[in-house]
């Protein structure tokens, strides 16, 4: 009986569940957030160099682009996964966290996404995040001679980060960042704008371009 109970509990622990975190959203996004499952989200973005010398990826101390860091899963136009994601995102925007969590539980083994209720203790605001879990088998060494700048973990699907401000004063405003690596300053400016104007939504690509 005890063995059966342990087995059931173990199986349940493998399922997605709403994650509750507190701290500073800016630090989770681009800094240090020890209260979160991982931090400096921008550093974990899937990378790849389209053409040597074509883009300015910014200073090496910020991030050195590395082919093979992370994986971007491309979906076909008529993929049922896109239909499923449309449902997830619609309910996410509507604030139905229970349904979103249930949908993510049913797809955890292939989506690797989780719903996070993030309490920003600096701004005294609550945000809802759709966040992909990182795969620590991906390692970005950046500057080889400086082990301290290594980044452990990237994404397996790289479908982006989505943030909703449920009590936003500007409910019609969404901020989008399509090129987080190629336009290396854009993520930080966009996040500042999102918070400064109290916008409703924020979305950023999970791949460099």
Q: Is the pLDDT of residue 37 over 80?
A: yes
Q: Is the pLDDT of residue 182 over 80?
A: no
Q: What is the mean pLDDT of residues 141-155?
A: 84
Q: Is the pLDDT of residue 16 over 70?
A: no
Q: Which two tokens stand for residue 70?
A: 């992370």
Q: Is the pLDDT of residue 13 over 50?
A: no
pTM greater than the 0.85 cutoff: yes
Of 144 and 195, the one with more pLDDT: 195
CA distance 140 to 133: 16
Task: Quick: pLDDT tens for 45-104.
Answer: 998 777 776 666 677 766 777 788 899 999 998 899 999 999 999 999 999 999 999 999
Tell me if 6 is assigned to some domain. no
Confidence (pLDDT) at 65: 75
Tell me if 1 is assigned to some domain. no
Tell me if 2 is assigned to some domain. no
Average pLDDT score over the chain = 87
Tell me if 132 is assigned to some domain. yes
Name 189's Cβ contacts closer than 8 Å, sequence gap at least 6: none
Total structural domains in the chain? Answer: 1
* Residue 103 CA from chain centroid, whole number: 17
- A 10 A CB-CB count for 1 gives 5
Tell me if 209 is assigned to some domain. no
Confidence (pLDDT) at 112: 95
Domain enclosing residue 184, as ranges: 18-204
* CA distance readout (Å), 97 to 62, 89, 141, 179: 35, 11, 37, 28
Confidence (pLDDT) at 5: 37
Q: Is the pLDDT of residue 203 over 90?
A: yes
Of 146 and 19, the one with more pLDDT: 19
Tell me if 100 is assigned to some domain. yes
Tell me if 86 is assigned to some domain. yes
Task: Quick: pLDDT tens for 185-197.
Answer: 899 999 999 999 9
Tell me if 89 is assigned to some domain. yes
Q: Is the pLDDT of residue 12 over 50?
A: no
């Amino acid at each position: 009986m005890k063995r059966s109970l342990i087995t059931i509990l173990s199986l349940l622990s493998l399922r997605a569940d709403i994650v509750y975190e507190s701290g500073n959203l800016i630090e989770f996004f681009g800094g240090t957030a020890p209260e979160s499952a991982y931090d400096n989200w921008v550093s974990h973005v899937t990378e790849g160099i389209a053409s040597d010398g074509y883009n300015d990826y910014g200073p090496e101390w910020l991030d050195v682009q590395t082919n093979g860091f992370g994986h971007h899963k491309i979906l076909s136009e008529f993929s049922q996964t896109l239909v499923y994601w449309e449902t997830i995102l619609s309910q996410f925007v509507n604030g139905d966290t229970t349904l979103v969590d249930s949908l993510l539980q049913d797809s955890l083994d292939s989506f690797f996404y989780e719903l996070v209720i993030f309490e920003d203790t600096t701004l005294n605001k609550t945000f809802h995040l759709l966040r992909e879990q990182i795969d620590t088998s991906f390692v970005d060494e950046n500057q080889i001679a400086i082990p301290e700048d290594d980044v452990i973990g990237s994404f397996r699907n790289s479908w982006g980060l989505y943030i909703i401000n449920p009590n936003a004063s500007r409910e019609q405003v969404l901020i989008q960042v399509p090129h987080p690596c190629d336009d290396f300053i854009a993520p930080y400016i966009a996040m500042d704008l999102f918070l400064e104007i109290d916008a409703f939504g924020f979305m950023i690509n999970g791949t460099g371009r």
